[in-house]
Amino acid sequence: MKHVIIGIIGAGRIGKLHADNLLKRVESAQLKAITDPYLDEAWASSLNIPLTGRDHRFMLDDPEIDAILIGSPSSEHAQQMIECAQAGKHIFCEKPIALDPNIIQNALTEVEKSGVKLQVGFNRRFDPNFAAVRKQVTSGVLGDPHVVRITSRDPAPPPAEYVTASGGLFLDMTIHDFDMARFLMGSEVTEIHAYGAVLVDPEIGKAGDIDTAVISLKFANGALGIIENSREAVYGYDQRVEVFGSKGTAMADNNTPTSMVILNESGVIRDKPLYFFLERYQAAFVAEIQAFVDAVRDDKPTPVSGKDGLAPVLVALAAQESLKTGKPVKVASV
Amino acid sequence: MKHVIIGIIGAGRIGKLHADNLLKRVESAQLKAITDPYLDEAWASSLNIPLTGRDHRFMLDDPEIDAILIGSPSSEHAQQMIECAQAGKHIFCEKPIALDPNIIQNALTEVEKSGVKLQVGFNRRFDPNFAAVRKQVTSGVLGDPHVVRITSRDPAPPPAEYVTASGGLFLDMTIHDFDMARFLMGSEVTEIHAYGAVLVDPEIGKAGDIDTAVISLKFANGALGIIENSREAVYGYDQRVEVFGSKGTAMADNNTPTSMVILNESGVIRDKPLYFFLERYQAAFVAEIQAFVDAVRDDKPTPVSGKDGLAPVLVALAAQESLKTGKPVKVASV
Amino acid sequence: MKHVIIGIIGAGRIGKLHADNLLKRVESAQLKAITDPYLDEAWASSLNIPLTGRDHRFMLDDPEIDAILIGSPSSEHAQQMIECAQAGKHIFCEKPIALDPNIIQNALTEVEKSGVKLQVGFNRRFDPNFAAVRKQVTSGVLGDPHVVRITSRDPAPPPAEYVTASGGLFLDMTIHDFDMARFLMGSEVTEIHAYGAVLVDPEIGKAGDIDTAVISLKFANGALGIIENSREAVYGYDQRVEVFGSKGTAMADNNTPTSMVILNESGVIRDKPLYFFLERYQAAFVAEIQAFVDAVRDDKPTPVSGKDGLAPVLVALAAQESLKTGKPVKVASV
Amino acid sequence: MKHVIIGIIGAGRIGKLHADNLLKRVESAQLKAITDPYLDEAWASSLNIPLTGRDHRFMLDDPEIDAILIGSPSSEHAQQMIECAQAGKHIFCEKPIALDPNIIQNALTEVEKSGVKLQVGFNRRFDPNFAAVRKQVTSGVLGDPHVVRITSRDPAPPPAEYVTASGGLFLDMTIHDFDMARFLMGSEVTEIHAYGAVLVDPEIGKAGDIDTAVISLKFANGALGIIENSREAVYGYDQRVEVFGSKGTAMADNNTPTSMVILNESGVIRDKPLYFFLERYQAAFVAEIQAFVDAVRDDKPTPVSGKDGLAPVLVALAAQESLKTGKPVKVASV
C-alpha cells in the first residue's frame, strides 16, 4: 500500500486542522509540505512537517508530491486549482472554489483537461449521522424521497464585516445546506424560493445581508425541500436533517458531548449540542481527507466532484436573486 | 357552579366524539339534545341524551339550552351559526366555518351583532404539547420568536373524491397548520409561498389537488415560518412543531402509545406515533370543549375567536393562489 | 351486553377515584351504591350515585349488586372480603388484603369456597408501559428472561407516623414492586436479599423503618432480579422497569406531561416525570376496573388473582427478615 | 513543555492500542520502545517505533525512558511493576495488578518505597459519560449520593476456557464495575451480596463460573449500590450507570454510532449501542494515557492510584465468597 504524499497551501485554521489530521488520523498519507504567507513556523516545526514556506509554488515542482490541499483564502482557490492541475497534482480544494460561477467553471475546465482528481471540501457529507441518512435513501429503505428538510443554525453571528466579504448568508453558510440537500436527495435543485430577515443583529442588516432565512426547494426528481437558517442559536450549533419518503422518514439529530441525563427539580436535562463545526464535524473532517487519499491511492473517483463545487454556488445565486426579486427563481436561469 | 346546557347539531364522527366528551369528560356541562338528519337513535339512547331529532331548529327555541355545538357538514356551518346567533345561543363551531371568506365574514357579523360567544374548533391549540410550546413564547422563555416550523403529515391519503369536495390540501389539511402557525407565533401571516407536488397518489393529482407541500410564511412581527405537509406518512400521524427564538428553541414531538424501548439485534426500537387525530388529539378535543364551557359559564372570551375562524382560510386561499401563479402572495390581497 | 352492577365500600381517596372511573370511564358497569363511615354526601350526590350509606352491609343484601369494590382501610379488607364472598358478591379488593399471611389465607379460603371472583388491586400491571414490557416476555420477543430490574421511587416521603402504621417500606411501597417483578417475570420469587438505609428522613429511622433499599431476587425459573426503592426522588415519581433476556431487553420509562423539549443556554430540557401515582397510573386505574368488570360480565378469570394478593406479602415479609438478619431469606420459610 | 518518554511491555491487543494512541492521540508523549516475546515486527516497524525487542529489561536500563506501560499478561504485572519501580520508572499498569491481594500489596509496597508514580488501567473512569456523572457527584449537583446503579453487559460470552483462566466473572468483568462504583460514589465498598446464575452458556457453568449476576453493595458513607452483569447482550455492549442522590439523579446511557432515527411501519428505530469496549471506550483509552502522561510531566498524583488497583480485587473476592456461602460478606474480612 503506497502512501499519498501531500502538500498544503494555507495554514490558517482550516489548513492547520487538515495538517493535524493528515499527520495523526489519516491512513496511507504523508504530509510533506505546507505553505502560508504568514506561516506559523513554531507550529509547523512542532509537527515536524518536512518542508515549509511562504510561497506554495515550490510544491508544484516537487515530483514526490502527489496531491495538494488548497486551504488558502477563497479568492485564491480557483487560480491555485489551475496551477495544481497544470502541474499534474491531484487537488483537494476547500469550498467555495469561488463566488463567481464563471471563475469556477474556468477552473473546472482546466482540471478536467489535466485529468487530475479534484475533491471539494463539503465535509458534512462525511458526518456519520448525515451519511447514515443518505444511506437510507440510496438503499431504498425510505422508498421514493419526497421531502428533504435541513435545519442549520450557527451558535453565534459573525462580525458584520465578515458577512460582507463572505458573499452573504447564502454563499457563506447556506452553501453547505445546498450541498447537503443535493447530497441527501441525489438530485439537482431546479428552483428555489427564499425568505430572509434580519432578526439577530441589525449590523448584519446594515451590511446588506440577512441573518435568518427559510428557503424552499424544487428538485429535478419532483421532490421538495426546505432549509432553515439562523446565524445565532444560543444553545449551540444546530445541525439536523430529515429525508421523508414513501416508506418512512430518517432524521439525524445533533451530537452532544455526553449521553448523560440529569433529573432534578428543574426538569430532565441533557447536554447542549456540540458548540460549533470544529467539534461537530471533527470526524467528518478526517473522513473527507481519508476519502480523498483513498481515491488518489486507488485511482478511484473522488466522492465530491468539481460539479459538486459549482452546483451549490448556482443555487445560492438563485436564492440571492429570489430574495432580491421576491419571486422563486429557476437555478438554470442564473 | 351553574352547568352549561348544550345542544349538538350533527351526529357524525365529530358530533359523536363531542357528545361523548360532554357526557363523560367535560365538567360543568350538560348535554341536553342532539340532532342529525340521519341520527343513529340506538347510539343516542345508549347515552341517555334527553332530546333527539332530525332537525336542529327545536333547540333554538329551547330556553334552557345555553349553547349549541355545530358539528354538521361544513357547508351548513355558516347558516346554522347565524340561526344560533339570532336565537341568542352561544356557539361552538367546527372548522372551517366556510370555504368562502365572504360567507364567513357574513356569519361573523351576525354573531357579533347578537353578542353571543363563538369558539371555532381549532382543537390542536389545546394539545398539551403544542400548548406548552405556545407558553414558552408568551412567557418569554424563547425571547423574540424568529421562526416557526410545523411538520404535519397524515397517516394515509383520503380518497381522491374526498379531496375535491374538501377544498383541497390547503383548506382541508393545512388550515390546521395555518392556525397553529398563527397561534404559536402570536402574529398574523402576511405573505405566503407554496410549492406543491403529487408524490403520494396520482389520483389526487387527477382530481386537481396536491398531496405534498412545503410552504413558507412571513409574519406581521417580522418572523418567518415553514410548514411541511404530506398526505401519507406510513409510520403514522406526524405532528411536530418548533418555535425558534432569540433565547432558545422549543419543540413538541409526536405522542406514542407507550414509553417502552426494546433493544435487540435489529436496533433500538420504540413505538410509532399514535395513528391519527382521534388518538393524538383526544385530550385536545376534551380541553377545547371544556374551555368553551368555562367561557360560557364564567362569561369570559373564548380562546379561539371568530377572527381565528376567518384568518386561516384567507391564508389557505393565498397559498392556493401562490401554487397557481408560482409566486408569493400577500394574504391581504385575497 | 349486560351491565355489571357495583357497590363500593370506602369513599376515601381511592374509593372516590374508582367511583369516578366507574361512572365516566369504565364500559358495561353501573355504580349503584357507595358507603363510608365518614361519607362525603355532597360529593356522592354530585355524582348521582343511587344509594349511599355509612355501613356497607346493606349492599350485601341487595340482589341487584353483582360485585363489590373494597376500598376501605386495609385492616378491614379481609373481613369484608369474607362477608362479600358469603353474600355471593364478586370482589375487587384494594391491596394489601392484609399484612398477616394467615389472615389473607383465611380470606382467600372463604372466597374460594364461595366461588365468587376476586381481583386484587395491583393496578400497575395495567399501566400501558409495563403491560407492553410484559407482552414482550410472553410473546417471546425477549427470549428467556434473565434479569428483571425495577426502579421505584416516590416523590416525597410520607410522615413518619404513616410509615409505622403501613407495615414499613416493604409492605407499603415495595409490595407493588414485588407484584410487578412476579408479573413481568411470570415466575415466583423464591429467595430475597435486602439492604436498607435511612438516607431521606431520620424520623423514618426513629420510627423503625428504612427509606432507601436495594433488593435482590431469585426466581423459580432461575432468573434474577433487582428492585431499588427510595421514599424521595425530588424530580417526581420514578417508575421504570426492564426485563433483560436472551434475545434482547425491554425497558419502560417514566411518563411526562408533554413531549416538549427546550434547548437554551442551560441545556436540553424536558418535562419531569408525572408527579405521583394518581397521574402516572390514571389509565391503569381505569383499565384494572375495566378488566374486573369484563371478567365478571363474561365469566372469565380475573387477571390478578387471590394468589397474587398473598404472594407479594410473603416476599415482603421475607425481605423484612433479610433486613433484620442480614442474610438472604427463602420466601418459603416465612 | 517536556515530552514524557515511554516504553511498553506487551504488544498484544491492549499494548498495540496504547502504542497507537501514544503515537497519534496523546500530547507530550513519545513512544521509544515496545517489547513482547512474540512481537509483531512488521506492525512495530510500520509505526516507526525506535526500539523493539522480546525482553523488556533493556528498557529498565535506558535512562531516557521516563515511564513504562505494562500491558503484558496479568500474571506478569506484579513482578514487572516491581522491576520498573526498582529501576525508577513511572508505571502505568493494566488491570488487574494480580488476582491475589497479597501479591498486589507486595508490588504496591515496592512502588511506594521507590517513589515512582503508578496508574492502574481502569479506563472507564475516563469515559466522558461516566466522568460527567462523577462530576455531578463531586460538584454537589446531586446532593448526598444515596444509590449507585451499574448495568454492565458484554455483547458475547468468552469461551469457557477463557473464563477459567480469568479468575471468573467477578475478577474478570465485574472488577471494572466495582471500580466504577467506588469511583462514582467516592466511597469504599464495605459489604457485598451476590446472586449468580448460568443462563447464557452451560459451558461456563461447567467451567465453574457464572454468566449472570446481580450484586448489592454497602458503602462506607452509608449509601447502597447495585451492579447487574450479563455475559451476553445480543444488542451489543450495554454500559450504563446511574447515581441517585438527595437532589436528583444522573444517568449515563450507551453510545451509538450515529444519532439517526428512522420512522417506518416497524416503529421508531435507532442505532444499537457501540459493539464492544474498543469502540465504546476509545476516547477513554486515550484520556487515561493522557492523564498519566500529564501526571508524570507535571509531577502530579495519578488519577487512578495503587489503592484503586487493590480495592476492587478485594471486593471481587468478597463477591466470590458471598456467592459461595450464600451470605453477604464484609470486604474487610477477605
Summarised one tens digit per residue, pLDDT across range B46-68 is 899 999 999 999 999 999 999 99
Residues 6+ apart with CB under 8 A from A113: A85
Q: Average pLDDT, stretch B84-88?
A: 98
Which residue shows C-alpha cell 410550546?
Answer: B133
> H helices within C261-305, ranges in order?
277-280, 282-298
Pairwise CA distance, residues A138 & D234, whole Å: 28
Above 80 in pLDDT, residue B1?
no
Q: Is C54 on the interface with D (CB under 8 A)?
A: no
For residue B145, CA distances in Å to B239, B244, C272 come to: 20, 6, 25
Determine the residue of chain D that is closest to B269 in CA distance: D269
Task: For residue D261, give the nearest of C263, A236, A141, A272 by alpha carbon.
Answer: A141
Whether the per-residue pLDDT at C289 is higher than 60: the answer is yes
Q: How far apart are CA C55 and CA D249, in angstroms?
A: 47
Q: Name the residue with cell 442551560.
A: C266
Contact yes or no for B263 and D269 at CB 8 A: no
Task: Identify the CA nearest to C208 among candidates C177, C165, C178.
Answer: C165
Amino acid at C303: P
Distance CA B251, CA C260 (A): 5
**B71 close to B91: Cβ distance less than 8 angstroms:** no
Long-range contacts of B106-111 (CB under 8 A, 24+ apart): B106/B78, B106/B82, B107/B77, B107/B78, B107/B79, B107/B81, B107/B82, B108/B306, B108/B307, B108/B309, B108/B310, B110/B81, B110/B82, B110/B85, B110/B86, B111/B81, B111/B82, B111/B85, B111/B306
* Cα D231 to chain centroid, rounded: 17
Subunits with 3+ C-beta pairs closer than 8 A to B: A, C, D
Three-state SS letters, A221-255: CCCEEEEEEECCCCCCCEEEEEEEECCEEEEECCC
Kindly report the backbone phi and psi dihedral angles of residue B164, in degrees, each rounded to the nearest multiple of 5, phi listed first.
Answer: -60, -50
Residue B57 — φ and ψ, nearest 5°?
-70, -20
Any bridge partners for residue A249, and if so which? A244, D263
Residue B238: per-residue pLDDT: 98
pLDDT at D277: 92
Q: With an 8 Å Cβ cutoff, are D272 and B263 in contact?
A: yes
pLDDT one-digit tens code per residue, D306-334? 999 999 999 999 999 999 999 999 999 98
Q: Does residue D111 surpass a pLDDT of 50? A: yes
Report chain A residues whose CB lies below 8 A from the CB of D261: 250-251, 253
Instruction: For residue A263, list chain C residues with Cβ-Cβ distance below 8 A.
Output: 233, 235-236, 238, 272-273
B216–A193 C-beta distance less than 8 A: yes
Instruction: Decide if C260 and B249 are in contact by the 8 Å CB cutoff.
Output: no
Measured between alpha carbons, how far is A163 from A170 in angstroms, rounded to an integer?
A: 11
Contact C289, C18 (CB under 8 A): yes
CA distances from D202 to A259, A282, D236, D322 (A): 35, 45, 21, 21
CA distance C210 to C190: 23
Cβ atoms < 10 Å from Cβ of D333: 10
Residues of D in contact with A260 (CB under 8 A): 129, 132-133, 136, 250-253
Cα–Cα distance for residue pair A294/A6, rounded to 1 Å: 13
CB contact under 8 A, A224 and B326: no
The full DSSP string for C62-106 is -TT--EEEE-S-HHHHHHHHHHHHHTT-EEEEPSPS-SSHHHHHH
N- to C-terminal Cα distance for chain C?
45
Which of C:290-319 have CB within 8 Å of D?
none
Interval D281-294: pLDDT, tens: 999 999 999 999 99
**Which one, of A156, A155, A152, A171, lies nearest residue A209 by Cα?**
A171
Distance CA A163, CA D164 (A): 66
Cell of A80: 491555485
Residue A324 forms contact with C (CB below 8 Å): no
* Phi, psi angle pair for C231, to nearest 5°: -80, -10
- Which strand (E) or helix (H) includes residue D251? strand D248-252
Task: Tell me how far apart the alpha carbons of residues D116 and C322 are, in angstroms, rounded to a whole number.
Answer: 47
Residue A1, pLDDT > 70, answer no
Q: Quote the cell numbers at residue A191.
A: 428552483
Q: C72-80 contacts: CB < 8 A, separation 24 or more? A: C72/C9, C72/C10, C72/C12, C72/C15, C72/C36, C73/C10, C73/C12, C74/C98, C74/C99, C77/C107, C78/C103, C78/C104, C78/C106, C78/C107, C79/C107, C80/C9, C80/C56
Q: Determine the straight-line distance between the first and last CA of chain A, rounded to whole angstroms.
A: 45
pLDDT of residue C164: 81
A251 close to D (CB below 8 A): yes
- DSSP readout, D115-178? T--EEE--GGGGSHHHHHHHHHHHTTTT-SEEEEEEEEE-SSPPPHHHHHHHT-HIIIIIHHHH
Q: Helix, strand or coil for residue B12?
A: coil
Helix (H, G, I), strand (E, B) or coil at C142: coil
Query: What's the whole-number mean pLDDT along residues A193-212?
Result: 97
CA proximity to B334, closest of B309, B308, B310, B315: B315
The kind and range of the H/E element at D324 are helix D306-325
Q: With 0-12 CB in 10 A as exposed, 13-18 as middle and 19+ as buried, what is A53?
A: middle
**Largest interatomic CA distance in chain B:** 66
- What crossing angle do the helices spanning B175-185 and B306-325 adopt, rounded to 10°? 120
User: Which listed CATH number (3.40.50.1980, 3.30.360.10, 3.40.50.80, 2.40.160.40) goes with A125-257+312-333?
Assistant: 3.30.360.10
Note whether D132 contacts B: Cβ–Cβ < 8 A. Answer: no
| B252–C contact, CB cutoff 8 A | yes
Beta strands in chain B (DSSP E): 4-9, 29-35, 51-53, 67-70, 90-93, 118-120, 145-153, 189-197, 212-219, 224-230, 238-245, 248-252, 261-264, 267-270, 329-330
Q: What CATH architecture applies to the domain C127-280+312-333?
A: 2-Layer Sandwich (3.30)
pLDDT tens, A104-139? 999 999 999 999 999 999 999 999 999 999 999 999
Question: Which of C234, C266, C270 is closest, CB to CB, to A268?
Answer: C270
- Nearest residue on chain A to D20, alpha-carbon basis: A24
Output the nine-digit C-alpha cell for D334: 477477605
Is residue C1 over pLDDT 50? Answer: no
Which residue bears the cell 425510505?
A142
- What is the pTM for the complete model shown? 0.96
Provide, for chain A, the percentages of residues in helix, strand and coil under a 3-state DSSP scheme, each rounded to the nearest 5.
40, 25, 35
For residue B236, which residues of chain D lie inside 8 Å, CB to CB? 263
Closest residue in chain B to residue C142, using alpha carbons only = B264
Q: Does B246 touch chain C (CB under 8 A)?
A: no
The SS3 call for residue D229 is strand
Min distance A139 CA to chain B CA atoms (Å): 17
Give the pLDDT score at A152: 98
Return the bridge partners of D90, or none.
D67
The three cell numbers of residue D101 are 491481594
Residues of D in contact with B273 (CB under 8 A): 263
- Report residue A296 as a C-alpha cell: 488518489
CB count in 10 Å sphere of residue B141: 15
Quote the crossing angle between the two packed helices D128-138 and D175-185, to the nearest 10°. Answer: 30
Inter-residue contact A28 to A294 (CB < 8 Å): yes
- Chain A residues in contact with B177 by the CB 8 A cut-off are none
Task: Tell me which residue of A216, A329, A212 sits closest to B219, measured CA to CA.
Answer: A212
In terms of C-beta density within 10 A (0-12 exposed, 13-18 middle, 19 or more buried), how is residue A152 classed?
A: buried
Class of domain A4-116: alpha beta
Chain B environment of C129 (Cβ under 8 Å) = 258-260
Domain regions of chain C by residue span: 4-116, 127-280+312-333
Chain Cα centroid distance, residue C268: 34
**Cross-chain Cβ contact D262/A248 below 8 Å:** yes
CA distance to A103, A194, B228, C270, per residue, from A164 (Å):
20, 19, 32, 39
pLDDT at residue number B51: 96
List the single residue in C with minimal CA-CA distance to B126: C258
Check whether D149 has a pLDDT greater than 70. Answer: yes
Grid coordinates in use for A43?
A: 507550529
Given a contact cutoff of 8 angstroms between Cβ atoms, the answer to whether D248 and C235 are in contact is: yes
Q: Domain B125-283+312-333 adopts which CATH fold?
A: Dihydrodipicolinate Reductase; domain 2 (3.30.360)
* CB-CB neighbours of C99 under 10 Å: 19
Q: Is B214 on the interface with A (CB under 8 A)?
A: yes
Q: How far is B103 from chain A (nearest CA, A)?
A: 31
